[in-house]
């Protein structure tokens, strides 16, 4: 993939990903996103953006916004986004995101935006607040990505449609005004992309209350894990089960070593172990991953100046890239 487009950051291929401003990051976010991002830090020029402009498209508590942004920064750093190897900044510190959105708006068909799956779902959930920002969300997302000439965008399955839209916008811009933007690719993780909630009914999500928070204390984690939904075929301890349809086993695949996964899978099929025992093994290995993350998050909570410095430094670097992009875009579009 080319990294030589005008205004693009030099060196490794740029990767962009947006982070919702929330400290309530759960195991699904960790397994499906953050952990994979952390593995990409040396492979790409990683740019992570806490997307506060996106967050205000839905009802929110104004007073809680800044604490939520800080919390998102802390938990993501603690979970592996080493700020010495990536940019981590807040979207509204770089207003070029909205300027490029406006230009992209003029290339975006209303009909296509109205058919976006996520817009339709969010509109159903927020019937009293179907605002233009919600409708325009994919255009802002395209601007987020293309402002940095990102060629790779790690996303979940539900966001692939938006990356397709971003590619369309890049193509249209290049055709209309001259070659400038790359067409980015979605990078969908092979494992951990779909961690189900503790109810076993839908994807793990904060709003559904079926989640385990990444920095929750061990007691709280166990209280949630112990009664979590398993294979319903295992009504009695002597009933065999199928680990492949059990979310606890999916979590084992994400946290336990291969020999423990094998032991639990066999024990499940033969009714050799009970679900509680299986969950205890999971808890033990999960804590080996979560303990250091929780400890680092607590440490960072006591270092607000350091966290602010990370966000400031990253914003300054991101803004320098964004300004270069917009200088060229304005020239191509004939605005200045």
Residues at the interface with ligand SF4 (CB under 6 A): 230-231, 234, 241, 243, 246, 248-249, 264, 268, 273, 275, 278-279
**In a 10 Å sphere around its CB, with 0-12 CB exposed, 13-18 middle and 19+ buried, how is residue 199 labelled?**
middle
The Cα–Cα gap between 323 and 319 comes to 6
* Whether residue 279 lies in the annotated active site: no
Decide: 163 and 153 in contact? Cβ < 8 Å. yes
Sign of the CA dihedral with 98 first, then 100, 106, and 112 last:
negative
Q: Which helix (H) or strand (E) holds 18?
A: strand 14-19
Nearer Cβ to ligand SF4, position 263 or 301?
263
CB of 226 to ligand SF4, least distance (A): 11
The secondary structure of 13-53 as a DSSP string is PEEEEEE-S-S--BHHHIIIIIHHHHHHTTTSEEEEEE-HH
* Whether residue 288 lies in the annotated active site: no
CB of 255 to ligand SF4, least distance (A): 13
CB of 254 to ligand SF4, least distance (A): 13
CB of 237 to ligand SF4, least distance (A): 10
Residue 185 is given by DSSP the state E
Nearer Cβ to ligand SF4, position 116 or 264?
264
Residue 196 is given by DSSP the state B
Nearer Cβ to ligand SF4, position 47 or 248?
248
* Whether residue 319 lies in the annotated active site: no
Nearer Cβ to ligand SF4, position 189 or 241?
241
Nearer Cβ to ligand SF4, position 18 or 243?
243
CB of 333 to ligand SF4, least distance (A): 56
Nearer Cβ to ligand SF4, position 68 or 234?
234
Residue 31 is given by DSSP the state I
Q: Which two tokens stand for residue 56?
A: 């205000």
3-state percent helix, strand, coil for the chain, nearest multiple of 5: 55, 10, 35
Task: Tell me how far apart the terminal alpha carbons of the chain are, to the nearest angstrom.
Answer: 30
The Cα–Cα gap between 156 and 184 comes to 15
CB of 274 to ligand SF4, least distance (A): 7
Going edge to edge, which strands form the sheet with 86-90? 86-90, 45-50, 14-19, 152-154, 185-187
| Residues that are catalytic | 122, 203, 206
């Amino acid at each position: 993939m080319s990294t030589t487009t005008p205004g693009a950051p030099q060196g490794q291929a740029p990767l962009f990903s947006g982070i919702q401003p929330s400290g309530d990051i759960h195991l699904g976010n960790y397994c499906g996103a953050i952990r994979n991002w952390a593995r990409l830090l040396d492979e790409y020029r990683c740019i992570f953006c806490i997307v506060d402009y996106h967050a205000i498209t839905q009802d929110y508590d104004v007073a809680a916004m800044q604490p939520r942004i800080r919390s998102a920064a802390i938990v993501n750093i603690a979970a592996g986004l080493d700020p010495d190897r990536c940019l981590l900044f807040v979207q509204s510190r770089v207003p070029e995101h909205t300027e490029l959105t406006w230009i992209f708006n003029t290339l975006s068909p209303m009909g296509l935006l109205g058919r976006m799956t996520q817009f339709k779902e969010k509109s159903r959930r927020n019937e009293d607040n179907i605002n233009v920002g919600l409708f325009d969300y994919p255009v802002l997302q395209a601007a987020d990505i293309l402002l940095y000439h990102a060629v790779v965008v790690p996303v979940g399955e539900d966001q692939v449609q938006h990356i397709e839209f971003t590619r369309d916008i890049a193509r249209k811009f290049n055709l209309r005004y001259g070659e400038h933007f790359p067409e980015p690719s979605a990078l969908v993780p092979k494992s951990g992309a779909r961690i189900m909630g503790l109810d076993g009914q839908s994807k793990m999500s904060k709003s559904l209350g079926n989640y385990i928070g990444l920095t929750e204390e061990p007691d709280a984690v166990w209280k949630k894990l112990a009664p979590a939904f398993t294979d319903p075929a295992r009504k009695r301890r002597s009933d065999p089960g199928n680990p492949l349809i059990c979310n606890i086993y999916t979590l084992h695949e994400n946290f336990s070593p291969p020999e423990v996964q094998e032991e639990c899978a066999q024990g499940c099929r033969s009714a050799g172990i009970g679900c509680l025992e299986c969950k205890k093994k999971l808890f033990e290995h999960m804590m080996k991953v979560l303990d250091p993350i929780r400890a680092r998050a607590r440490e960072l909570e006591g270092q607000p100046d350091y966290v602010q410095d990370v966000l400031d430094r990253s914003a300054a670097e991101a803004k320098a890239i964004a300004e270069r992009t917009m200088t060229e875009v304005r020239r191509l579009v004939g605005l200045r």
